[in-house]
A = this chain, B = another copy of it.
Amino acid sequence: MNVAILGFGVVGSGVAEVITQNAEHIKENSNVSLKVTKILDIRDFPDSDFAPLMTKNFDEILLDDSISIVCETMGGVNPAFDFVSKCLMKGKHVVTSNKELVATRGFELLQLARENNVNFLFEASVGGGIPIIRPLSRCLAGNNVNEVAGILNGTSNFILTKMIVDGMSFADALKLAQDKGYAEKDPTADVEGFDALRKICILASLCFGTHVYPDGIYTEGISKITLEDVAFAESYDAVIKLIARAKKLAEDKITVMVTPCLVKNSSMLSGVSDVFNACLVRGDMTGDVLMYGKGAGKLATASAVVGDVIDCAANDKERKFFGWADEKKDFVASYLENETAFYVRGADADKAEIEKAFTSVQYLTRENQPDNEIAFVTPVMKESDFATKLSELKINLITTIRISDY
């Protein structure tokens, strides 16, 4: 079966490599013969083994009826959305690693796939090489998922790991991540939580059957985290992680948010270090299930794309419909309806006042703690109540960080 690749970047070139190098293994295991026949990129790659397959003209792929599967590995919404829609309408299966595309236009593309009786698969869009989307949709079959959460951004997790393990400052750890090629020159999407946000939107859409758009979802990054917070967390037997999560409320509503959290060392999520990712699914039948692995990297992500390609090829006649409905009004509740405990750090506060406001709190300590510095963990309460109580408390507030449920 002939395969085309849109975008010859890190992932796209990996896909070409995996399909070509593992062709025999794939044939043996899955009984499908895959061949990359065209690759679209605006750049030239004269030295690549795949140079003869390169084209700058999208129509050469779209109008080529011998191509039945298209891998979109360009990233970004434009022109990816246009290209992908056209391929689906032409009756080609599309496999993508593009989380932004799925998070913002997934509903439309899934509908388009259904209308044209082809697959639109996106295992590689969340968690790189970790199988998440497929097991999740399988878990869902006999299970009601109540919560899905994860460490979904490798770059920010690498930075936090360096702060926790090596005592590096945020700025130094970010610099190291950039030097290692994990973080981009403009690291905003990674460190401010927007990349994790796109991924949790995809997972929430899948788990709760309604498209959850990233717009308007409460998102905090890790740039505000300091080594003082790391030290206080340690005294709480916890580490700070960037946790993306979506949770069913009692009514037919969910909350979705991305924020740093204190994660207890007894949690499996606390052990997810460096650039690794993990996704935790809390089902009514299965309890907690966690999937862990490399969340990024050329070959890991490419192999997830190729897994989807093989699925399309091996089951050409069977449709994989990840059905979810379009956005529903008020389905995503305000984050203020969420319930959680909080870590609060500040200065010049009176313990009696704190205890009056929050009833029972747990004070934390760290080495070299200034006399007037105070840090404590509140009981679990509604975010809105916490905000009110905190605003009424006399304290020179430095920071607040949520306590993870996971």
Query: Taking beta carbons and an 8 Å cutoff, which residues of A are in contact with B?
Result: 18, 22, 25-26, 29-30, 129-131, 134-135, 138-144, 209, 266-268, 270-273, 283-294, 297, 299-300, 302-304, 306-307, 309-311, 315, 317-318
Q: Are A292 and B293 in contact (CB under 8 A)?
A: no
Assembly CA distance A299 to B138 (angstroms): 15
Cβ-closest chain B residue relative to A297: B287
Quote the shortest CB–CB distance from A31 to chain B (angstroms): 9
Most B CB contacts (10 A, CB to CB) among A129, A134, A294 go to A129
In the complex, which residues of chain B have a beta carbon less than 8 angstroms from the beta carbon of A287?
A: 129, 293-294, 297, 300
Q: Are A130 and B318 in contact (CB under 8 A)?
A: no
Q: Are A29 and B140 in contact (CB under 8 A)?
A: yes
23 A-B pairs (CB sep. < 8 Å): A18-B142, A22-B144, A29-B140, A29-B209, A30-B141, A129-B283, A129-B286, A130-B286, A131-B289, A139-B307, A142-B302, A268-B268, A285-B303, A286-B299, A287-B294, A287-B300, A288-B292, A288-B293, A289-B292, A289-B293, A290-B291, A290-B293, A292-B292
Taking A286-B129, A291-B289, A293-B286 as contacts, is the C-beta distance between A141 and B318 under 8 angstroms?
Answer: no
Cβ-closest chain B residue relative to A137: B29
Q: Are A139 and B131 in contact (CB under 8 A)?
A: yes
In the complex, which residues of chain B have a beta carbon less than 8 angstroms from the beta carbon of A29?
A: 140-141, 209
Q: Are B134 and A311 in contact (CB under 8 A)?
A: no
Question: Which 3 A/B pairs are nearest by Cβ-Cβ distance?
Answer: A129-B286, A285-B303, A142-B306
Taking A286-B300, A299-B285 as contacts, is the C-beta distance between A142 and B26 under 8 angstroms?
Answer: yes
Q: Are A25 and B297 in contact (CB under 8 A)?
A: no
Assembly CA distance A134 to B306 (angstroms): 16
Taking A135-B135, A307-B139 as contacts, is the C-beta distance between A292 and B290 under 8 angstroms?
Answer: yes
In the complex, which residues of chain B have a beta carbon less than 8 angstroms from the beta carbon of A144?
A: 22, 25
Q: Are A129 and B285 in contact (CB under 8 A)?
A: yes
Assembly CA distance A290 to B277 (angstroms): 10
Known pairs A18-B142, A287-B294, A290-B293. 20 more at Cβ < 8 A?
Answer: A22-B142, A22-B143, A25-B144, A26-B141, A26-B142, A29-B141, A29-B209, A129-B285, A130-B289, A131-B138, A135-B291, A139-B307, A141-B306, A141-B310, A142-B304, A142-B310, A268-B271, A285-B299, A286-B293, A286-B299
In the complex, which residues of chain B have a beta carbon less than 8 angstroms from the beta carbon of A270?
A: 271
Q: Which of B134, B268, B294, B310 contacts A286 (CB 8 A)?
A: B294
Taking A138-B134, A306-B142 as contacts, is the C-beta distance between A288 and B294 under 8 angstroms?
Answer: yes
Assembly CA distance A25 to B146 (angstroms): 14
Q: Are A303 and B283 in contact (CB under 8 A)?
A: yes
Quote the shortest CB–CB distance from A325 to chain B (angstroms): 11
Cβ-closest chain B residue relative to A25: B144
Quote the shortest CB–CB distance from A312 to chain B (angstroms): 11
Q: Are A272 and B283 in contact (CB under 8 A)?
A: no
In the complex, which residues of chain B have a beta carbon less than 8 angstroms from the beta carbon of A304?
A: 142, 286
Q: Which of B26, B267, B291 contacts A291 (CB 8 A)?
A: B291
Assembly CA distance A323 to B306 (angstroms): 20
Cβ-closest chain B residue relative to A140: B29
Assembly CA distance A303 to B138 (angstroms): 10
Quote the shortest CB–CB distance from A228 to chain B (angstroms): 25
Quote the shortest CB–CB distance from A125 to chain B (angstroms): 15
In the complex, which residues of chain B have a beta carbon less than 8 angstroms from the beta carbon of A209?
A: 29
